[in-house]
Amino acid sequence: MSDFEFFFSFYGLILGLSVAEIASGVARTVHERGQVKVGWLTPMLAVFVSLDVAGFWVVAWQDWRGIEVDFGILVIGLVMAMTYYVAAAVVFPREFEGWASLDEHFWARRRIIFGAILFTNLVAVAGTVWAWQAADRSYPFPMNWISWTYFVLVAAALVMPRGRAMYAILGLLILYFLNWLPQLNPLQAAVEAAT
């Protein structure tokens, strides 16, 4: 087993638990249907966080292969993966009593979720640059406008006041990840059509 495989098995396990938390929240919501109004914000958030975790996993697999694993790297990976776990665990309420709707829960918890995701992704960018330098490669800065758009949208979701614009932000964040699917790639198709 290589250093990277050792690191990734540890890191991937915690990220996998994040996905399990979201799946558990969906299952609780289905089980308790009729007890609370579901709305659109929490389901959209669950889709976004699931796609974000998957994207985070892919980027780690692609960009961190050259790292030399030591205790410090394990701790950094642990902090990032645990932060994602906390974000995923807060998407759905543990108990539905006391919430008029899942949209109310969304507004009460969204700063925790988007703050955790923004923090983790900023640490990941710094870690990726470091990993590429450690492998004697130059990280391809500047990132493209689509990557920067992701950070702007997550930051906007973190600070935006309550309102309908949040639906658009969540929709654009989901679309960002659909762009990763080569058979769909809507953002790339839009760019090519505009040029």
Q: pLDDT-based confidence at 27, cuts 50/70/90?
A: very high
Residue 176: which pLDDT band, with cuts at 50, 70 and 90? confident
Q: What tokens does 180 get?
A: 């990763």
Per cent of the chain over pLDDT 70 is 78
Q: Where are the domains of the chain?
A: 3-142
Tokens of 58: 């892919």
pLDDT of residue 166: 96
Question: Residue range 140-166: average pLDDT?
Answer: 83
The pLDDT assigned to 100 comes to: 86
pLDDT at 183 over 70: no
Q: What is the mean pLDDT of the segment spanning 56-62?
A: 74
Determine the Cα–Cα distance for residues 128 and 63; give it in Å rounded to an integer: 6
Residue burial 95-113, b: 16+ Cβ < 10 Å; e: rest: ebeebeebbbbbeebbeeb
pLDDT averaged over the chain? 82
HEC assignment per residue over 57-123: HHHHHHHCCCCCCCHHHHHHHHHHHHHHHHHHHHCCCCCCCCCCEHHHHHHHHHHHHHHHHHHHHHH
Say yes or no to pLDDT of 43 above 90.
Answer: yes
The whole-number average pLDDT for the span 49-71 is: 77
Take residue 108 and report the two structure tokens written for it. Answer: 């009460």
| Count of C-beta atoms within a 10 Å radius of residue 68 | 11
Distance CA 161, CA 15 (A): 30
Q: Give the number of residues written for the chain.
A: 195
